Amino acid sequence: MPDWLTPEEWQALSLSLKVSFWATVVSLPPGVAVAQALARGRFPGHGLLNGLVHLPLILPPVVTGYLLLLTFGRQGWLGSALWDWFGFTFAFRWTGAALAAAVMAFPLLVRAIRLALEAVDPKLEQAAATLGASRVVVFLTVTLPLILPGVIAGAVLAFAKAMGEFGATITFVANIPGETQTLPTAIYAFLQLPGGDAAALRLVAISVALAMGALVVSELLSRRVAARIAGK
């Protein structure tokens, strides 16, 4: 633990990293699947799925958080079922913070992967199919290597978004130090305290550095996706 952060600040930072890591990792497989469906699929409800995925981007985060609370809260229709059957709950747990972050970051993840997928010539996949590859093999050997930089860029963006998530998190799982208090909610809490400015400022600096880093990494990777597909 570095000595320029108090235990409380360090706790918020490490919790944020943990929440964002899991939010990103867990949403990756469904993110790729949804991106694939949106980029390639032709099915009824295509527009609906597209709208649903992008909803968290346009809804006020508080609304998303409240909807999550209604759904996954202990009294929520899905939350109560999860609690009754598995004794598991998202409410006021770090897993809930991760869920909120994942939902908020999902549109960014899907967008980046979808863009990469749309740049892949479907003929490459069809050629692989006529050479005997099943759909799964085509995806793993042809599509995935081509979109990998896009997937990584999407993941980096999603991670950064998750690190900064505030409204949905605080509405859904509140602001409990050590359990649901992430960097942004910690900054908010420090700002409410007399003399908390210095601590808040340190966390702000960390947030800015992480966000900038993520943006740079994402940009570099997006450029590589284009170059790779162009056959460099």
Partner 1 sequence: MNFRGTTPTMSAGIDLENVCCDFGTFRAVDNATVSIKPGEFFSFLGPSGCGKTTILRMVSGFIEPTEGAIRIGGKDVKGTRPNQRPTALIFQNLALFPLMPIWENIAFGLEVRGIDKATRRKKAEDLLKLVDLPGAADKMVSQLSGGQKQRVAIARALAVEPSVMLLDEPLSALDLKLRQHMRAELRAIQKRTGVTFIYITHDQGEALAMSDRVGVMSQGRIQQIAAPRDIYDNPVNGFVASFVGENNIFEGDVGPASGGIAALTGPHGAFRARVLPDAAGKALKLYVRPEHTVLTRAKAAENSVQMEVTEVAFEGAFISVHGQAAGGKRLSAEVKNDGVTPVPQVGETVFASFDAARALLLPDANVRG
> Can you give the binding site for partner 1, defined by CB under 8 A?
121, 123-124, 126-134, 137, 141-142, 145-146, 228-232
Sign of CA dihedral 201, 5, 165, 32: positive
CA distance 149 to 179: 33
Residue 218 CB, shortest distance to partner 1, in Å, is 21
CA distance 86 to 96: 16
Structure tokens at 189: 């809490």
For residue 25, CA distances in Å to 33, 62, 231 come to: 14, 24, 29
Nearer residue to partner 1 within complex by CB, 67 or 128:
128
CA angle 58, 20, 142 (to 5 degrees): 85
Nearer residue to partner 1 within complex by CB, 6 or 141:
141
Q: What are phi and psi of 230, to 5 degrees?
A: -70, -5
Amino acid letter, residue 38: L
Residue 149 CB, shortest distance to partner 1, in Å, is 11
156: exposed, middle or buried (Cβ count in 10 Å: 0-12, 13-18, 19+): buried
Sign of CA dihedral 30, 31, 36, 38: positive
Residue 41 CB, shortest distance to partner 1, in Å, is 15
Residue 140 CB, shortest distance to partner 1, in Å, is 11
Residue 44 CB, shortest distance to partner 1, in Å, is 15
Nearer residue to partner 1 within complex by CB, 140 or 208:
140
Residue 220 CB, shortest distance to partner 1, in Å, is 18
CA distance 184 to 160: 12
Nearer residue to partner 1 within complex by CB, 7 or 145:
145
Nearer residue to partner 1 within complex by CB, 29 or 231:
231
Nearer residue to partner 1 within complex by CB, 142 or 153:
142
